[in-house]
Amino acid sequence: MSKENPFLLTPGPLTTSMATKQAMLNDWGSWDADFNRITAEVGDYLLRCANAVHTHVFIPMQGSGTFSVEAALGTLIAPKQKTLVLCNGAYGQRMATILKTMGRPYVVLDKGDFEAPQVDEVHELLLADPEISAVAMVHCETSSGILNEIDDIASLCRALGKLFILDSMSAFGAIDIDVINTPFTALISSANKCFEGVPGFGFVLAHKQHLQHCKGNSPSLSLDLYEQYQYMGKTGQWRFTPPTHSVVAFHKALEQHREEGGVAGRFERYLSNRIRLVQGMRALGFKTLLEDRWLSPIITTFLSPDDERFDFQQFYQLVKQQGFIIYPGKLTQCESFRIGNIGQLYSEQIDAVLVAVQNACSQMGVVLVKTEEGVNQ
Ligand SMILES: *Cc1c(COP(=O)(O)O)cnc(C)c1O
């Protein structure tokens, strides 16, 4: 890798393998049986990852991940149903914005930038407002990197008969999720996150029986999961032009996911990347936004050093010149930046990015002060 072809330490698009890139060198007909078999195999694999083969169906959707979130909220929740959106960052906020744009009733529990929603407070809100019949939340909130606890909230929703819609965009594929422990109505993710495909489509694992009742819910023609599923069931094809190259690349990426040991294998690699990165950054004098217990293996937010010579734009360029793309912060309250661990990254790249960060700081004349704690709190 080089300045022209840097490693992406970002939460998708991310660095893909050569085999995944090479899978895109052929052209495919969208009606062709071989291509349709590939779509079906992708769906089988993803359902197996969540242990949801018997209860859920796979529905892919063209576009970036947000298109699938919008399709899921629009199709799986009826127009008059009220949704409770649990927010602790930008992606939770985005679900609220989608509901607002569609004119759907919703309420928000907003925990700010770095606190996780708790099952007790969700329970109280559901008891206080019986009109709420769906709960939507994010699994790994990529804006801070926090890994939310979802199992108890999902089980509560099932016990109370509420829908549970999970944006697991940046977690599914690397964080274990089993429909028995986390009874979700729908799980949403996309091709270019932990499964390490290229961008082009997202997908929803939707509860089969529930989906049967969702005809006519969607306010959108193209983002209608019910119609996409019906059409696929009848023809084996996507309803409108599929991102063929992205789908075959994803199929190739899933082969590598399986070879790495599936979800558990990928988790191991991302976690060891994260541990190496955070240890190294703390040794340099950086602090993480979150305490260790909330850190995900996906992406970590670091606070910008308390030195006026630190300038993120300059820092970004200096790190990029050494072959790494990092990510700006997405916090409302403090200066920060993020470094991701997902994609084709191994200990070698983590060590090299630590050197790049150190070089960039000394080029800016930033003095890093090491402290015992290494955490914001
Ligand atoms: C990446 C991501 C999305 C989708 O973002 P797009 O830019 O539309 O692909 C949604 N939710 C979370 C938590 C994400 O990390």
Q: Tens of pLDDT along 30-80?
A: 989 999 999 999 999 999 999 999 999 999 999 999 999 999 999 999 999
**pLDDT for res 1:** 54
Ligand 1 atom at shortest distance from the alpha carbon of 139: 13
End-to-end CA distance of the chain: 37
CA-to-CA separations, 156 to 108, 149, 196, in angstroms, rounded: 18, 13, 32
* Alpha helix (H) residue ranges in 196-345: 208-211, 225-235, 244-259, 262-284, 312-321
**pLDDT for res 373:** 61
Task: Quote the ligand 1 centre to 46 CA distance (angstroms).
Answer: 18
Ligand 1 atom at shortest distance from the alpha carbon of 202: 9
Residues whose beta carbon lies within 6 Å of some atom of ligand 1: 11-12, 64-66, 69, 91, 138, 142, 167, 169-170, 190
3-state secondary structure of 297: coil
Which segments in the chain show pLDDT lower than 70?
1-3, 332, 371-377
Task: Quote the ligand 1 centre to 12 CA distance (angstroms).
Answer: 8
Query: How far is CA 317 from its chain centroid?
Result: 26
CA-derived radius of gyration, the chain: 21
Query: How far is CA 363 from its chain centroid?
Result: 34
Task: Quote the ligand 1 centre to 221 CA distance (angstroms).
Answer: 22
Can you give the pTM of this predicted structure?
A: 0.96
Query: How far is Cα 337 from Cα 316, in angstroms, rounded to an integer?
Result: 9
Residue type, 70: E
CA-to-CA separations, 130 to 75, 102, 150, 337, in angstroms, rounded: 21, 22, 21, 40
**pLDDT for res 371:** 67
Task: Quote the ligand 1 centre to 11 CA distance (angstroms).
Answer: 9
Q: What percent of the chain has pLDDT over 90?
A: 92
Angle of the 244-259 helix axis to the 33-49 helix axis, nearest 10: 40
